[in-house]
Structure 1
Amino acid sequence: MTDDAKHLERRALRIQQNDAMPVYLFALAAEEIDLVADVARISRDDAGKLIGYQRPERRSHVKQILDYLNSGEVLFPNGLILALPESVRFRSSRGPSTSDGLSSAGTLEIPLPAHDTDPRPAWIVDGQQRSLALSRTTNKRMPVPIAGFVAPTLAMQREQFLRINTVSPLPPNLVTELLPEVFAAPSPRLSARRLPSALVDMLNQDPDSPFAGLIKRASTDVEDRRKSVVTDTGLVEALKESLESPSGVLFPYRNMATGSTDTEGIRKLLLTYWTSVRDLFPDAWGKSPTRSRLMGGVGIRAMSRLMDRVMAHVDVNSPTAYETTKYELTRISDRCHWTSGTWDELGLPWNELQNTPRHISALSNFLARAYVEARMEKK
């Protein structure tokens, strides 16, 4: 630490993988990690904007690491990855042998907060559970390997967070909530989930949405989780299916040639359809999946597939779009048993319908057949 105690200096290697973003390899004592870096917990501010990107603390995991760190002879090669501020400075060492063509030796200067209440300069991108254990260990001067890169924006940190955690899978709801917030999704597989995840965000935050406040996301706090009854991953998969399938009602809203999407048109369709579903089944809406299968994954997925058929007969720009949608849904309403009774055609009591591929497929096919048959009878 420098004389004025405002900077921490460490011997480091600079690896220049690209011109814009060097990677620094250095060591910190276990007790210094808490001075330099913080965890960006995922949450939302009062305006609903996503903050951070890290999953909650896993206490059992932290305790296992801590027990090992305090056990005596410790080998701890798996360090941390930090997003460093732009204010870090690297000074190359002098001499003819400071670089081998792959890395350069020098000194890294990391600014420290002037006061205890000031924010820490770096963010932990990978190793949050390890960092918590290291901050609590009695082995405070144990050297910890650190890899750091300069990330000037939160979006860049989130992107690296998703890339780094590809091998050790993140919770699906954390991935789907983070995806709309990064500049570019890390892989084609994740890119396909980016738009539906953004739409789920809209459904959860739009005050006109029947799903407003009902969708459980990774950032949902403990208080709000009590009323959040819909799991976001099921809804993301339902929207993704409609967007990607040529037979999906949302498919035409995407211009595959230009890559543009009519998100306002999609919003209007989704709000029209799901508001009609809510109003047609008021006793089943907003309840936990244990009390209403409509709000569980099996109900959401099956009704979303029915949306592809129903909304093909509705002009969402018409002043009577809501009334038309609700009328179309009445064709199958008396065949549904979301909170009581038995799905006779499926041979299942209402509460034995499960969120499994087999039950989702069976319920989807039944509702589709019932709807088509009802429309044919009314002609």
Structure 2
Amino acid sequence: MKPKKALQTVIAPAVRSKQGDTTIYLTFLPGSDLLQIADIRRLQRDENHELEGFQRQEIRDHVNEIAQYLDNGGTLFPNAIILAMEPTIKFEGSRGGKAEVTVKDAVLGRLHIPVRELGQRSAWIVDGQQRSLALSKSSNPGLVVPVVVFETNSIHVQREQFILVNRAKPLPQRLIDELLPETQGVSLPRDLTTRQMPSRLCNELNTHEQSPLRGLIKRSSQASGAGHVVTDTAILDMIKRSLNNPNGALAGFKDLGDDTGDASSMLQTLIDFWSAVKETFPDAWARPPSQSRLMHSAGIAALGDLMDRIAARATTRKRQREFFAAELARIKKDCAWTEGSWKSLDREWDEIQNTPQDVKMLSQALVQLYAQKIKR
């Protein structure tokens, strides 16, 4: 018996329509064909720190649960897989007369989808990667499932749709935050656009050659490593606090009534301040939070508030780094980042935790300490 010939093209019945300028197809495919025609673009960064892809890693337990359901006779699979597909895909309209329908602008036909090697496929999974993986692993891979396809080559459009589709699902906020700066769509809701600038600045702090935090910030796209000592959540919260504080060091660079602004000046201010922090507290710098509360989420937040307080006293942006360093030197001896205790708090250095109460307490202690020093 001759082995079954590998498919070169998947031909599926489809309905073609349009949404704005984008062509949309509704089709049905066997689960076994999905990973033959579509790639999964994983979220990662290349050698130049450029963001690639958008999909999170496989959730094995979830995939296995779906596969087990299918193996045990489950045949109801109504949730559509969403694919982005290159615009060169061939669609062949049905011949013959058109029946009268109440839904206009929809054409019946057949979709011709080429089967290519991994990484070279003509489609990408936007929503449903866990279900697609489960279908491929199941003993019932021939189950036909609904598939919605939209034409685009733009990774930005794919990311935008990925975020919008997953907003109502428990998608990790850190994953969304890292994707937002790379999403150039204009249809994102306001609550997401307000998060673009902080995440963009966080990316820059982690990659800019002059940033003291370069390589120290852990983001969703990066594998765990000894060099990552600060979570991006801590940095994002610090930036947001400064942007939302009317007197914040970064707020002055925001555009009035807008969520954009002078990003380069914001970044320079952050680089100058945290370079001064590194210079002032070298023994506490780049150490795990368990060894240094300066790199702890509470320390990052408190120092961010102190940055706002110090920046408010600056009369010029020239020699900003030197100004920050001189002001931080005033409180250097009274800080307990790696040993000793915070005298005004009556707390040992390692008793500070990442709770709203401790963050507020440490922030107030630093600001009050600084206020006392500048009065002398």
1:201 aligns with 2:203: yes
> 1:269–1:316: 8 Å Cα contact kept in structure 2?
no
CA distance in 1, matches of 2:65, 2:209: 43
Matches within 5 A, 1:106-255: 106-114=108-116, 116=117, 119-184=120-185, 186-222=188-224, 225-255=225-255
Shift, 1:165, TM fit: 0.7
Shift, 1:90, TM fit: 2.9
CA deviations over 1:167-219 (Å, ceiling 9, x no partner): 01321211111111111362111111101110111100011111000011111
Give, as a single letter, the amino acid of the residue that structure 2 aligns with 1:174.
L
- TM-score under structure 2 length normalisation: 0.92
What's the secondary structure of 1:97's corresponding residue?
Answer: coil
CA distance in 2, matches of 1:342, 1:110: 70
Give, as a single letter, the amino acid of the residue that structure 1 aligns with 2:371.
V
Shift, 1:334, TM fit: 2.2
Shift, 1:29, TM fit: 0.7
**CA 1:88–1:315: 2 relative to 1, 3 Å:** farther
Shift, 1:117, TM fit: 5.2
- TM-score under structure 1 length normalisation: 0.91
Match of 2:304 in 1: 304
Shift, 1:103, TM fit: 6.5
Q: Which runs of 5+ in 1 are unaligned?
A: none
> 1:84–1:151: 8 Å Cα contact kept in structure 2?
yes
CA deviations over 1:93-125 (Å, ceiling 9, x no partner): 3433274315635234243245x3561111111
Match of 1:291 in 2: 291
**CA 1:298–1:98: 2 relative to 1, 3 Å:** farther
Shift, 1:283, TM fit: 1.6
Shift, 1:19, TM fit: 2.9
Give, as a single letter, the amino acid of the residue that structure 1 aligns with 2:235.
L
CA distance in 1, matches of 2:58, 2:295: 28
Give, as a single letter, the amino acid of the residue that structure 2 aligns with 1:230.
V
CA deviations over 1:243-281 (Å, ceiling 9, x no partner): 232111111112226876222222221111001111211
Shift, 1:146, TM fit: 1.0
> 2:14–2:111: 8 Å Cα contact kept in structure 1?
no
1:269 aligns with 2:269: yes
CA distance in 1, matches of 2:259, 2:141: 52
> 1:210–1:275: 8 Å Cα contact kept in structure 2?
yes
What's the secondary structure of 1:8's corresponding residue?
Answer: strand
> 1:80–1:127: 8 Å Cα contact kept in structure 2?
yes
Q: CA RMSD in A?
A: 2.2
- The worse-fitting range, judged by mean Cα deviation, of 24-33 and 87-96 is 87-96
- The worse-fitting range, judged by mean Cα deviation, of 157-166 and 290-299 is 290-299
Shift, 1:347, TM fit: 3.4
Give, as a single letter, the amino acid of the residue that structure 1 aligns with 2:221.
S
Shift, 1:39, TM fit: 1.0
What's the secondary structure of 2:327's corresponding residue?
Answer: helix
Shift, 1:161, TM fit: 0.5
> 1:9–1:107: 8 Å Cα contact kept in structure 2?
no
> 2:248–2:312: 8 Å Cα contact kept in structure 1?
no
Shift, 1:335, TM fit: 2.3
> 1:57–1:129: 8 Å Cα contact kept in structure 2?
yes
Give, as a single letter, the amino acid of the residue that structure 1 aligns with 2:99.
S
1:365 aligns with 2:345: no
Match of 1:104 in 2: 106
CA distance in 2, matches of 1:359, 1:22: 53
What's the secondary structure of 2:298's corresponding residue?
Answer: helix
Count of matched residue positions in the alignment of Structure 1 and Structure 2: 370
CA distance in 2, matches of 1:96, 1:112: 28
Give, as a single letter, the amino acid of the residue that structure 2 aligns with 1:196.
P
CA deviations over 1:52-111 (Å, ceiling 9, x no partner): 011111112111112112112432222311111111233333433274315635234243
Q: Which runs of 5+ in 2 are unaligned?
A: none
Match of 2:66 in 1: 65
CA deviations over 1:4-40 (Å, ceiling 9, x no partner): 9543211122343x23123322111111011111111
Match of 1:11 in 2: 13
- The worse-fitting range, judged by mean Cα deviation, of 44-53 and 233-242 is 233-242
